[in-house]
């Protein structure tokens, strides 16, 4: 895509208020979608989404839409009114997934109550049944398969089933970034996978994708997941290690730092993943180009993995940019 | 020797077969015949009686009659056999005309006068046969759909091989193996001379009505690892039989060729009675792949239901089915199917009509069948359930429990057996299992007092006096008095070491693990430490404030100072709390 996102060429704006984690601030092109959704204006939402020129954009936009409280009301009406249209059912299903996940994560996760799990699963089942239909009708419909990776995980349908879903999607969209991010979660030990599977998948995503694709970011995301799982002390040592640093550096080179990279709606998230991962290992000089691109444009993920994500971002950015021999302003 | 067909058979479309298949009656038995090339002829004698006509207590009755009727034929080189299915019994033979005549005459002579001196031996043979047969992955499906009656009985052992009396067996032969409940077919130019198929007069029994043990469909049950099985009930039609082949090919394509999750993947269509057929679909699964087989199975069915059926999928199945009309002895080859239709009262299609129907099947028709198949489906899956795909777990417990004497399990404190005036219940933490005496399909009895009661709905309660407190001979007698005599099946005594003894008591297992633990213990510890410190300092601040307030000259500067120190502690607590929460997200 040729993006009109502000500052795509790098050196994004910084301001005295510090980083913004708001996806709409970071990608103002998405603001009309939010406006339409909050007004319950289905025709406008539909027009916005059907006007997008890539499935990656559609997937990203649909996940943002699914995070807006109350959209299920107009989506339910739209799905009922257009039973043959995959779009409203898929958006509704993804919204159900978010509702369910909010119930599950709302409490302390190690003590999610039986009742919360029941409700969580109930929402996911509602979503899944819509998605089964959509995928049966439109086997190449990426947003539905991507959402089915989330239902498969939440409903604990198993590694092989999640992989089957990804493979069905992969047959039509071999480098679908959001789906790759979802499957990576499933492949981590916390969801029944293994580190071999997670790192192996991330490596495969990176090597199979064309130069400049976001898919190389999976390598960084896998290391971040590994770091998250390690005990305090071990985690920092892991990220400081040279093998991880080199792995990250190679992945960044073939993806978001490659000259062929064309920024899209996932680019900001991808740079944040690299910036975060390099910062965890104090590899400031490697974090620098990512921060330079980002400016103030931060993303909740992965920064929410550290306590004060705002100051962590600022601190890391400062250290990274200073390692280049001077700040930006 | 030949007369007109029975009236009910005359209306069934046999006229349509004129010029293809000849028909007559042989000693009042409707007879279809058509020539085949070759020196040998094949004949079959169908009776409209089978396993579904029995009860659980008499299960095996038809099979016993079949075995006894064939006994006098003894060992011979003749290629013959008998087969007992759910809704029919077939005696069939291939050989010279004389051999076929001798076989059929012998079968009918046997049916007229069963060799009852062989009864116990044949029972033994049937028990041995059953032991060697093994269940197969589909074994449990009929009982979950139909219960322990009618078409559900094929899930069960032939209990009748324990208890049936010569009178019961003779009576069954006299009423069910009659000339009016039979159809004969022969692959020859004319009905051979010398046939003596004299059988008693009787009535044509329609196939038994289907019972239901599934309140809601589509439903699912759990089964063994490595197998996914679906059964459904379809209205019989040409489109439905085509659908079965399309489904089999689609499963093979999706699960084996594309996914590589299965080795076998297939589907089958078998008529059940005049109106309905049973659809069975099966896929095996590698242990590591079975959740993908379940998912793929669900998706393949969803695809067909959504009508995303390629014309080429339909065409290749149609071509295969049309090929069966290429056989030179078409009429002779179709005789068994015509005879069975005549017996069950199903319409008979001429080859032209069937070809025309095959050619008229559209993908839209298949979509309708796919929806019907899903609507009536019962899916057996390994591992976790499939409620996520919109299926309902088949009932695992009875609706209600009976009241009566209560007998605590000696193995599990949470399980209690109730023996009441109306039935027995096993009370478990997850729900009761009840068999009412007036709905008891069979009760097996052991001399040691053990009883196994099975209800028509398929639920079963085992009463082992050694495993429950206070199951005295009196209580067992109460049970015996409640169950209708026709349902009682005495079993032989068990060796002492076969009588179960209580195992160590079991407690309920721990809570289900959620399977997604994450490392938050560090944050939890930090939260406790900082939180306690903040709370303790807060308390101290409160005490100091109260103390100073009651003093004559309060030092408010000092009070403010200690409160200011509380602020960072409270802030740190809050930050650790939110960080810990975020870390638990995935």
How is chain B split into domains, by residue range?
A: 7-186, 219-331+345-393, 404-498, 521-583
Nearest-by-Cβ selection for A136 from B299, B518, B578: B299
To the nearest whole angstrom, how far is the Cα of B585 from the nearest Cα of chain A? 6
Phi, psi of B102 (to 5 degrees): -60, -40
Domains B7-186 and B219-331+345-393 share a fold: yes
Q: Helix and strand tally (H, E) in chain B?
A: 16, 20
Q: Among A135, A192, A306, whose Cβ lies nearest the Cβ of B299?
A: A135
C-beta of residue B524 within 8 angstroms of C-beta of residue B573 = no
Q: What is the pLDDT of residues B254-295, one digit of tens each?
A: 999 998 999 999 999 999 999 999 999 999 998 899 999 999
C-alpha neighbours within 13 Å on the C-beta side of residue A63: 22
Beta-sheet strands, E only, within A144-261 = none
A156 touches chain B (CB under 8 A): yes
Asked, as a colleague might, if the bond just before B218 is cis with ω within 30 of 0, I would say yes
Q: How far apart are CA B351 and CA B358, in angstroms?
A: 10
Chain A, nearest residue to B289 by Cα:
A160
Q: Read off the pLDDT of residues A28-58 as tens digits, 9 standing for 90 and up.
A: 999 999 999 999 999 999 999 999 999 999 9
A128: its two tokens: 């899944």
In this complex, the residue of A105, A160, A167 whose CB is nearest that of residue B288 is A160
- Sheet bearing B41-47, strands edge to edge: B22-26, B29-33, B182-186, B41-47, B89-95, B79-84
B113, B118, B124, B128: CA torsion to nearest 10: -70
Spell out which residues of chain B touch residue A183, defining contact as CB-CB under 8 Å.
none
A14 pLDDT exceeds 60?
no
Residue entry with tokens 């979509």:
B367
**Which range has the top average pLDDT, A182-191, B14-23, B524-533?**
A182-191
Q: How far apart are CA A218 and CA A201, in angstroms?
A: 8
pLDDT at B566 over 50: yes
Please give the average per-residue pLDDT across A62-71, as a whole number.
96
Would you say the C-alpha torsion B63, B64, B69, B75 has a positive or negative sign?
positive
Asked if residue B78 has pLDDT above 80, the reply is no
Q: Does A172 touch chain B (CB under 8 A)?
A: no
* pLDDT bucket at A110, cuts 50 / 70 / 90: low
> Can you tell me the distance from the alpha carbon of B58 to that of B41, in angstroms, rounded to the nearest whole number?
35
Q: How distant is the Cα of A243 from the closest Cα of chain B, in angstroms?
A: 24
Q: Which residue on chain A is closest to B389 by alpha carbon?
A: A129
Name the H helices within B22-152: 61-71, 97-112, 119-133, 141-146
Token pair 């705002």 is at which residue? A310
Is the pLDDT reported for residue A2 higher than 50? no
Q: Nearest Cα to B419, choosing from B484, B464, B486, B485?
A: B464
Minimum mean pLDDT range among A7-11, A91-95, A268-272: A7-11
Which tens digits make up the pLDDT trace of B149-208?
999 999 999 999 999 999 999 999 999 999 999 999 999 999 999 999 999 999 999 999
Beta strands in B123-274, from DSSP E residues, in sequence order: 182-186, 219-222, 227-235, 265-271
pLDDT of amino acid B392:
97
Closest CA to B93 of B179, B184, B178, B2: B184
Torsion of CA A289, A290, A294, A296, to 10 degrees: -90
Q: Looking at beta carbons, which residues of chain B come within 8 Å of A129? A: 388-390
Q: What is the pLDDT of residue A1?
A: 35
Q: First-to-last CA distance in chain B?
A: 83
Q: How far is B478 from B257, CA to CA, in rounded Å?
A: 59
| Secondary structure (DSSP) of B374-431 | HHT-EEEESSS--GGGT-EEPP-S-S----EEEEEBSSBTT-EEEEESSEEEEEETTE
- Delimit the domains of chain A by residue range: 20-183, 194-329
Please indicate if any CB of chain A lies within 8 Å of the CB of B225: no
The more confidently predicted of residues A103 and B560 is A103
B399 shares contact with chain A (CB less than 8 Å): no
Determine whether B347 is exposed, middle or buried from the number of CB atoms within 10 Å of its CB (0-12, 13-18, 19+). exposed
Residue B31, helix vs strand vs coil: strand
Fold of B219-331+345-393: Cytochrome Bc1 Complex; Chain A, domain 1 (3.30.830)
Which residue of chain B comes nearest to A110, CA vs CA? B517
Tell me the CATH class for B404-498: mainly beta
Residue A73 has pLDDT above 60, yes or no: yes
Cβ contact B478:B433 at 8 Å? no
Cα–Cα distance between B489 and B470 in angstroms, integer? Answer: 24
Which one-letter DSSP state was computed for residue B92? E
What is the per-residue pLDDT for B578?
61
Q: Is A140 an interface residue toward B (CB < 8 Å)?
A: no
Interface contacts A/B by beta carbons within 8 Å: 109
- Which of chain A's residues have a Cβ under 8 Å away from the Cβ of B388? 121, 124-125, 128-129, 151, 155, 157
B68 band by pLDDT with thresholds 50, 70 and 90: very high
Range 94-123 of A in CB contact (< 8 A) with B: 105, 108-110, 112, 114, 117, 121
From the centroid of its chain, how far is CA B348?
29
Average pLDDT over residues B459-475: 96
Decide if pLDDT at B54 tops 90: yes
List the single residue in B with minimal CA-CA distance to A158.
B291
- Which residue in chain B is spatially nearest to A150 when comparing CA positions? B586
Average pLDDT over residues A198-212: 97
Interface of A with B in 266-285 (CB under 8 A): none
Q: Which of A108, A168, A192 sits opposite B515 (nearest CB)?
A: A192
Q: What angle do CA B412, B472, B450 make, to 5 degrees?
A: 70
B45, containing H or E segment: strand B41-47
Residues 6+ apart with CB under 8 A from B232: B278, B279, B372, B373, B374, B375, B376, B377, B378
Indicate the helix (H) or strand (E) that contains A71.
helix A71-81
Mean pLDDT in chain A? 92
pLDDT band at A228; cut points 50, 70, 90: very high
Q: Is B87 on the interface with A (CB under 8 A)?
A: no
pLDDT, residue B2, reads 38
A231:B519 CB<8 A: yes
Token digits of residue A191: 């969801």
Once rounded to an integer, what is the mean pLDDT over residues A163-192?
Answer: 96
Minimal Cβ distance to B575: which of A108, A232, A308: A308
Whole-angstrom Cα distance, residue A190 to residue A156?
11
- 3-state DSSP assignment of residue B29: strand
Measure A259 CA to nearest chain B CA, in Å.
Answer: 32
What is the domain class of B7-186 according to CATH? Answer: alpha beta
pLDDT grade for A5, boundaries at 50, 70 and 90:
very low
- Please say if the pLDDT value at position A8 is more than 50: no
State residue B317's pLDDT score.
97
d(CA A141, CA B181): 57
Check whether B554 has a pLDDT greater than 80: no
- Measured in residues, chain A has a length of 329
Residue pair A270/A217 in contact by the 8 Å Cβ criterion: yes
Write the CA distances from A129 to A167, B64, B366, B400, B473, integer angstroms: 19, 48, 22, 32, 54
Average pLDDT, chain B: 90
Q: How far apart are CA A303 and CA B434, in angstroms?
A: 57
Where does B437-551 have alpha helices with state H?
473-482, 521-550
Three-class SS state of A84: coil
| B345 and A CB contact within 8 Å | no
Instruction: Determine which of A106, A109, A149, A311 to mutate to test the interface with B (most B C-beta atoms within 10 Å).
Output: A109
Tens digit of each residue's pLDDT (9 = 90 or more) over B133-151: 777 889 999 999 999 999 9
Q: pLDDT digit string (tens) for B499-543?
A: 999 987 654 433 333 333 334 556 566 777 777 887 887 788 777
Q: Give the sheet arrangement for strand B265-271, strand by strand.
A: B265-271, B276-284, B227-235, B378-381, B219-222, B392-393
Asked whether the CA dihedral B290, B294, B295, B301 is positive or negative, the reply is positive
The answer for B382, left when phi > 0, alpha when psi is -120 to 50, beta otherwise, is: beta
pLDDT computed for residue B564 by the predictor: 78
How many percent of chain B have pLDDT more than 70? 91
Q: Take residue B529 and report the two structure tokens written for it.
A: 């430490």
CATH 3.40.50 fits A20-183, yes or no: no
| pTM of the predicted model over 0.90 | no
Q: Are the C-beta atoms of A131 and A151 separated by less than 8 Å?
A: yes
Mapping DSSP onto H, E and C, the string for A223-238 reads HHHHHHHCCCCHHHHH
* Nearest-by-Cβ selection for A190 from B289, B511, B516: B516
Confidence of residue A9 (pLDDT cuts 50, 70, 90): very low
Whether the pLDDT of residue A65 is over 80: the answer is: yes
Which residues are CB-neighbours of B509 under 8 A, at least 6 positions away? none
How distant is the Cα of B265 from the closest Cα of chain A, in angstroms? 17
ipTM of the complex: 0.91
C-alpha distance from residue B364 to each of A136, B239, B248, B307, B416 (Å): 15, 10, 18, 7, 54
Please give the Cα distance from B460 to A323 (Å, whole number).
Answer: 76
**DSSP letter assigned to residue A297:** B
* Residues 521 through 540 of chain B touching chain A, CB cutoff 8 Å: 522, 524
Judged by CB atoms closer than 8 Å, whether chains meet at A191 and B515 is answered as: yes
Would the CB atoms of A157 and B579 count as touching at under 8 Å? no
Tell me the C-alpha distance between A162 and A141, whole Å: 16
Confirm if A168 and A174 have CB atoms less than 8 A apart: no
Choose, out of A132, A135, A185, the residue to mutate when testing the contact with B (most B CBs < 10 Å): A132
Report how far apart the first and last C-alpha atoms of chain A are (Å, whole number): 29
- Which residues, 6+ apart, have CB-to-CB distance to B175 below 8 Å? B202
CB atoms within 10 A of CB B407: 22
């Amino acid at each position: 895509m040729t993006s009109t996102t502000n500052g795509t060429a790098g050196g994004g704006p910084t301001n005295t208020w510090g980083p913004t984690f708001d996806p709409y601030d970071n990608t103002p092109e998405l603001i009309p979608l939010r406006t339409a959704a909050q007004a319950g204006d289905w025709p406008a939402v539909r027009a916005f989404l059907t006007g997008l020129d890539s499935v990656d954009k559609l997937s990203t936009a649909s996940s943002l839409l699914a995070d807006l409280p109350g959209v299920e009301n107009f989506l339910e009406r739209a799905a009922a009114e257009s039973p043959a249209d995959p779009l409203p059912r898929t958006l509704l299903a993804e919204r159900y997934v978010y509702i369910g996940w909010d119930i599950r994560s709302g409490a302390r996760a190690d003590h999610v109550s039986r009742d919360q799990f029941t409700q969580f699963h109930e929402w996911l089942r509602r979503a899944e049944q819509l998605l089964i239909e959509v995928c049966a009708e439109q086997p190449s419909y990426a947003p539905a398969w991507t959402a089915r990776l989330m239902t498969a995980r939440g409903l604990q349908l198993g590694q092989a089933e999640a992989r089957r879903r990804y493979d069905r999607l992969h047959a039509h969209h071999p480098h679908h970034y959001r789906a790759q991010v979802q499957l990576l979660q499933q492949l981590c030990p916390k969801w029944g996978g293994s580190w071999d599977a997670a790192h192996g998948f991330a490596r495969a995503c990176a090597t199979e994708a064309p130069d400049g694709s976001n898919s190389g970011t999976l390598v960084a995301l896998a290391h971040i997941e590994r770091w998250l799982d390690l005990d305090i002390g071990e985690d920092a040592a892991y990220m400081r290690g040279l093998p991880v640093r080199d792995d990250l550096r190679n992945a960044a080179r073939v993806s978001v730092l490659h000259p062929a990279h064309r920024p899209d709606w996932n680019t900001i998230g991808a740079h944040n993943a690299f910036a975060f991962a390099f910062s965890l290992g104090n590899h400031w000089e490697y974090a620098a180009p990512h921060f330079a691109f980002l400016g103030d444009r931060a993303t909740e993920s992965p920064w929410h993995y550290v306590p004060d994500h705002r100051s962590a971002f600022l601190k890391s950015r400062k250290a990274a940019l200073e390692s280049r021999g001077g700040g930006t302003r | 020797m030949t007369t007109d067909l029975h009236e009910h058979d005359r209306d069934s479309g046999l006229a349509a077969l004129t010029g293809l298949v000849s028909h007559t009656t042989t000693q009042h038995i409707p007879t279809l015949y058509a020539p085949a090339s070759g020196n040998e002829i094949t004949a079959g004698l169908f009776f409209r009686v089978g396993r579904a006509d029995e009860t659980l207590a008499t299960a095996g009755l038809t099979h016993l009659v079949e075995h006894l009727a064939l006994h006098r034929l003894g060992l011979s080189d003749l290629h013959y056999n008998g087969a007992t299915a759910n809704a029919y019994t077939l005696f069939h033979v291939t050989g010279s005309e004389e051999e076929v005549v001798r076989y059929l005459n012998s079968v009918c002579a046997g049916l007229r006068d069963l060799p009852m001196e062989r009864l116990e031996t044949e029972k033994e043979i049937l028990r041995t046969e059953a032991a060697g047969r093994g269940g197969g992955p589909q074994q449990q499906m009929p009982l979950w759909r139909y219960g322990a009656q009618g078409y559900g009985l094929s899930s069960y052992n032939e209990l009748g091989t324990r208890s049936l009396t010569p009178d019961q067996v003779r009576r069954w032969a006299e009423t069910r193996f009659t000339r009016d409940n039979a159809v004969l077919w022969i692959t020859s130019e004319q009905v051979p001379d010398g046939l003596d198929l004299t059988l008693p007069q009787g009535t044509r029994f329609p196939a038994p009505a289907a019972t239901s043990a599934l309140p809601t469909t589509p439903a699912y049950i759990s089964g063994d690892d490595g197998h996914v099985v679906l059964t459904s009930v379809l209205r019989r039609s040409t489109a439905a039989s085509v659908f079965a082949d399309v489904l089999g090919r689609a499963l093979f394509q999706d699960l084996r060729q594309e996914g590589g999750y299965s080795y076998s993947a297939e589907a089958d269509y078998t008529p059940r009675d005049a109106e309905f057929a049973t659809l069975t679909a099966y896929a095996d699964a590698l242990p590591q792949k079975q959740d993908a087989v379940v998912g793929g199975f669900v998706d393949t069915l969803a695809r067909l239901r959504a009508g995303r059926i390629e014309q080429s999928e339909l065409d290749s199945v149609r071509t295969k089915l049309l090929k069966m009309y290429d056989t030179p002895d078409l009429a002779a080859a179709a005789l068994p199917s015509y005879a069975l239709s005549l017996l069950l009262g199903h319409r008979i299609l001429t080859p032209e009509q069937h070809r025309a129907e095959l050619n008229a099947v559209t993908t839209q028709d298949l979509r309708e069948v796919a929806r019907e198949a899903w609507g009536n489906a019962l899916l057996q899956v390994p591992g976790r359930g499939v409620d996520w795909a919109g299926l309902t777990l088949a009932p695992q417990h009875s609706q209600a429990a009976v009241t009566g004497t209560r007998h605590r399990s000696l193995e599990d404190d949470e399980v209690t057996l109730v023996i009441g005036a109306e039935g027995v219940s096993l009370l478990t933490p997850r729900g009761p299992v009840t068999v009412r005496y007036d709905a008891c399909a069979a009760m097996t009895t052991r001399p040691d007092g053990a009883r196994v009661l099975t209800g028509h709905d398929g639920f079963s309660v085992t009463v082992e006096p050694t495993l429950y407190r206070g199951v005295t001979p009196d209580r067992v007698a109460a049970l015996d008095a409640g169950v209708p005599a026709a349902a009682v099946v005495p079993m032989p005594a068990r060796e002492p070491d076969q009588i179960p003894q209580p195992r160590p008591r079991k407690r309920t297992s721990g809570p289900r693990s959620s399977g997604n633990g994450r490392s938050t213990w560090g944050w939890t510890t930090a939260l406790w430490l900082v939180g306690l410190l903040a709370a303790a300092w807060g308390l101290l601040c409160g005490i100091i404030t109260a103390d100073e307030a009651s003093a004559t000259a309060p030092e408010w500067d000092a009070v403010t100072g200690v409160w200011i120190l509380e602020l960072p502690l409270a802030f740190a607590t809050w930050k650790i709390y939110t960080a810990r929460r975020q870390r638990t997200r995935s």
